[in-house]
Amino acid sequence: MLEFVFYNPTKIVFGKDQTYRIGEFIKEKKCLFLYGGGSIFKNGIYEKVVNSLKVAGKEWIEKGGVKPNPVLSFVYEAIEVARKEKVECILAVGGGSVIDTAKTVAAGYFYEGDVWDFFIKKAEIQEALPVYVVLTLAATGTEMNRYAVITNEKTRQKFNIDSDKVYPKVSILDPVNTYTVPKEQVAYGCVDAMLHLLEGYFTQSYPNTPIQDGFVETLVKVLIETTQRIFENPQDYDARANFMWATTLALNGLTTAGIGSFGFPNHIIAHSLSAFYDLPHGATLAIIFPAWLRYKFPEKSYRISKLGMAIFNDGEPEKVIEKLENFYSSIGVPTRLSQVKVPEEDLPALAENAYGFAKIRDLADYTPEVIIEILKLAK
Amino acid sequence: MLEFVFYNPTKIVFGKDQTYRIGEFIKEKKCLFLYGGGSIFKNGIYEKVVNSLKVAGKEWIEKGGVKPNPVLSFVYEAIEVARKEKVECILAVGGGSVIDTAKTVAAGYFYEGDVWDFFIKKAEIQEALPVYVVLTLAATGTEMNRYAVITNEKTRQKFNIDSDKVYPKVSILDPVNTYTVPKEQVAYGCVDAMLHLLEGYFTQSYPNTPIQDGFVETLVKVLIETTQRIFENPQDYDARANFMWATTLALNGLTTAGIGSFGFPNHIIAHSLSAFYDLPHGATLAIIFPAWLRYKFPEKSYRISKLGMAIFNDGEPEKVIEKLENFYSSIGVPTRLSQVKVPEEDLPALAENAYGFAKIRDLADYTPEVIIEILKLAK
């Protein structure tokens, strides 16, 4: 195991009927209450949250309309509202897009320059408003980590921040809140969390990590099994609960602590696909990952085999990749660029875009040529 | 999975050569520097710590002599020193005994009454000095949790505190610092950490917890394998590192979050044995646990089998218990009361003592009669 610093101060409040407790955990008086497309009005979550805030004597300003693949222009607007209304904290009620927006607003609130500076590493976050979360979609893990991903529509860059200052203070994880999440979203969430686990597993610089390997293999197996169970019965509490906790643990720092340096090559290429065509993050990952595994074969054959034994009880690398694709297909997720109608003539521009991000993330060996080769394996 | 709150703000700084960084993490000016029997002077750790403190411009008062199974009288003395010297934080350089003493001193510092009140739940900890740790013995997990166990020599009670206020701020986990830990201590540490994992695994009120099960099984397997490797080569860095991180993760709240209510019946009986005969904690656990499994058989046969499959690739419950005993014997740990010369006539008094603790810990069904039955299976 290599040296690491592990620090994660987010308090997780997990379980049925915990949503109504959000008010008791918020220490500040006035919140900016962010949400997405308005599903929280249909499934009763809005009411639960508002009742809890009222009981706790809080004040809040609401701002809805955060979109999937959240954008920088919305962040600018929200920062303006937060400043004008002098809020003291941000309450995110939603999935990854809402939470990432909240974290970015929290960091931008105190910064005089352009908040995008944090994403292009031109400035470092010094201070942020406290962020509280009621999670309604299990997928990204942002409810318990130091990252936020935002798309700059103008520059077509999907970049991220990374700072101790943006850990949510408290995140309520109530599996019941995800009962109405449609199967498509569950499937994308499954792929996203799986890749959070497997990017590290397959790119770690130090191989001898039995603890981290065991944790990753456990979580990937649980993601596959619970996704299948949720598809059969969307109100299976245990399946929703295990799925939710697995997605959170998939990117909270635990499985990557000690594995040495590692990269997110699949995410980088997938982010470019999302930025170009506004495709769901989970779909683009499912398209890129099998192609990436084939590109990296046979270099990664030992780990593909190890993972396969743990999750499919099959150690033959090529079969493991096939079984993974079959699983994606069985939950309705595309595994080929042709399925999402990406034209071949776009590949060079896509590769250039991804390379720009790769360089920032210390993955400069992912040259446009390499990326095109991977994209071609995903045709 | 059942509802839970997970919160663990301790920062872990892990790896070779991290000890010299302790000074940079301490925010306060003046520390009470606690240590144990003085091994830190022989293996160079004292010098590394002191150099780091000097470079960081810190002041400190030293107090050594914390003993295994740390006692209340020492805590009283240390609180007095801390108050007299007006220290602002506690630095624990040692294993579980030193850290638990540090946490208790930190909590007692601000309390006007008897610090033992916290252990008998007569008072709740409201405030504590910050605690910093340089770990020199991997075993108890206290470097990343909210517990501290202290023995009251007068009342022969080995009780614990449990509070958010006593999480260490920063714990340095440098596997190199454990190269000189003798095999006997490694073996006891292995048993201790294993039982931290398995008490929950075998007594959890909610059975369907694939994430927690997978984590526990991974960690138990790593503990067994790394202990064997350390016995072969005490300077095997990877083995020491994986052993160390496994012992920390074994009691940091992760593996028990969501499993519902659970108890520490083996610890309770073992604590009484330690309090009566000053036996090492790991030895008493290794004696009690196989007897407890036999007492609980066949009620627990499914889980014994599940664990056995994961760690020994053998699912036959009786064989799993035997293999566990054989493993303990192979690393020189006693598995019978007769090996540590506990006379049969002491059993009633032991059982009464353990029952006193069991009642406080919501395990009142562990009556003296039940405990005697378990002790007899350990003869």
Q: Report the distance separating Cα A292 and Cα B62, nearest Å.
A: 56
Do residue A210 and residue B218 have CB atoms under 8 angstroms apart?
yes
pLDDT at B85: 98
Q: Please give the torsion angle defined by the CA atoms of residues A93, A272, A107 and B170, in that order, rounded to the nearest 10 degrees.
A: 90
Name beta bridge partners: B148. Answer: B161
Q: Search chain A and give the residue with CA nearest B12.
A: A6
DSSP H or E run through A228: helix A210-232
Nearest to A222 among B12, B13, B210 (CB): B210
Q: Report the length, in residues, of chain A.
A: 379
A2–chain B Cβ distance below 8 A for any pair: yes
Nearest to B3 among A5, A16, A210 (CB): A16
| pLDDT (average), residues B83-89 | 98
Chain B segment 182-221 residues within 8 A of A by beta carbon are 208-211, 214-215, 217-219, 221
A258–chain B Cβ distance below 8 A for any pair: yes
> What's the number of CA atoms in the CB half-sphere (13 Å) around residue A150?
29
Report the predicted TM-score, pTM, of the whole model to 2 decimal places: 0.96
A112–chain B Cβ distance below 8 A for any pair: no
Cβ contacts of residue B61 below 8 Å, gap of 6+?
B30, B31, B32, B33, B81, B85, B87
Burial of B274 from C-beta contacts in 10 A (0-12 / 13-18 / 19+): buried
Do residue A242 and residue B8 have CB atoms under 8 angstroms apart?
no
The nearest CA of chain B is from the CA of A237 a distance in Å of 8
Tokens coding A293 = 């595994």
A175 neighbourhood in chain B, CB within 8 Å: 1
Cβ contacts of residue B75 below 8 Å, gap of 6+?
B101, B104, B105, B108, B115, B150
Q: Report the distance separating Cα B166 and Cα B128, nearest Å.
A: 7
Q: Report the distance separating Cα B370 and Cα B367, nearest Å.
A: 5
Report which of A45, A333, A55 is spatially closest to residue A172, judged by C-alpha positions.
Answer: A45
User: In CATH, what number does A182-377 get?
Assistant: 1.20.1090.10
Tokens coding A370 = 């390499």
Query: From the centroid of its chain, how far is CA B293?
Result: 21
Q: Domain boundaries in chain B?
A: 11-177, 182-377
Do residue B11 and residue A14 have CB atoms under 8 angstroms apart?
no
Given this chain, do its domains A11-177 and A182-377 carry the same CATH topology? no
Name beta bridge partners: B173. Answer: B14, B135
The nearest CA of chain B is from the CA of A34 a distance in Å of 24
Do residue B218 and residue A238 have CB atoms under 8 angstroms apart?
no
ipTM: 0.96
pLDDT at A148: 97
Per-residue pLDDT of chain A (379 residues; tens, 9 = 90+): 999 999 999 999 999 999 999 999 999 999 999 999 999 999 999 999 999 999 999 999 999 999 988 999 999 999 999 999 999 999 999 999 999 999 999 999 999 999 999 999 999 999 999 999 999 999 999 999 999 999 999 998 888 999 999 999 999 999 999 999 999 999 999 999 999 999 999 999 998 999 999 999 999 999 999 999 999 999 999 999 999 999 999 999 999 999 999 999 999 999 899 888 888 889 999 999 999 999 999 999 999 999 999 999 999 999 999 999 999 999 999 999 999 999 999 999 999 999 998 998 889 899 999 999 999 999 9
Q: Report the distance separating Cα A297 and Cα A293, nearest Å.
A: 6
B337–chain A Cβ distance below 8 A for any pair: no
B217 neighbourhood in chain A, CB within 8 Å: 214
User: 3-state DSSP call for residue A349?
Assistant: helix
pLDDT at B291: 97
Read off the amino acid at residue B284: T
Q: How far apart are the first and last CA of chain A?
A: 38
Q: How many CB atoms lie within 10 A of CB B127?
A: 10
Q: How far is CA B193 from each of CA A311, B142, B249, B260, B360, rounded to the nearest angstrom?
A: 27, 11, 9, 20, 23
Residue B242 pLDDT level (bands cut at 50, 70, 90) = very high
Q: Report the distance separating Cα A271 and Cα A17, nearest Å.
A: 35
Do residue A1 and residue B249 have CB atoms under 8 angstroms apart?
no
pLDDT at B157: 85
Q: Is the pLDDT of residue B159 over 90?
A: no
Segment B185-219, tens digit of pLDDT: 999 999 999 999 999 999 999 989 999 999 999 99
B313–chain A Cβ distance below 8 A for any pair: no
B15 neighbourhood in chain A, CB within 8 Å: 1-4
User: In CATH, what number does B11-177 get?
Assistant: 3.40.50.1970
A18–chain B Cβ distance below 8 A for any pair: yes
pLDDT at A376: 95
Q: Is residue B200 within 8 Å of residue B216, measured between CB atoms?
A: yes
Nearest to A14 among B11, B16, B258 (CB): B258
Residue B329 pLDDT level (bands cut at 50, 70, 90) = very high
A297–chain B Cβ distance below 8 A for any pair: no
| pLDDT (average), residues B363-374 | 95
Read off the amino acid at residue B255: T
B364–chain A Cβ distance below 8 A for any pair: no
DSSP H or E run through B198: helix B183-203
Residue B149 pLDDT level (bands cut at 50, 70, 90) = very high
Burial of A224 from C-beta contacts in 10 A (0-12 / 13-18 / 19+): buried
Q: Search chain A and give the residue with CA nearest B172.
A: A5
Query: From the centroid of its chain, how far is CA A304?
Result: 23
pLDDT at A271: 86
Tokens coding A167 = 């850990």
Residue B160 pLDDT level (bands cut at 50, 70, 90) = very high
Q: Is residue B285 within 8 Å of residue B374, measured between CB atoms?
A: no
B17 neighbourhood in chain A, CB within 8 Å: 3
Q: Which residue has the tokens 């509802």?
A: B3
A11 neighbourhood in chain B, CB within 8 Å: 5-7
A246 neighbourhood in chain B, CB within 8 Å: 211
Mean pLDDT of chain A: 96
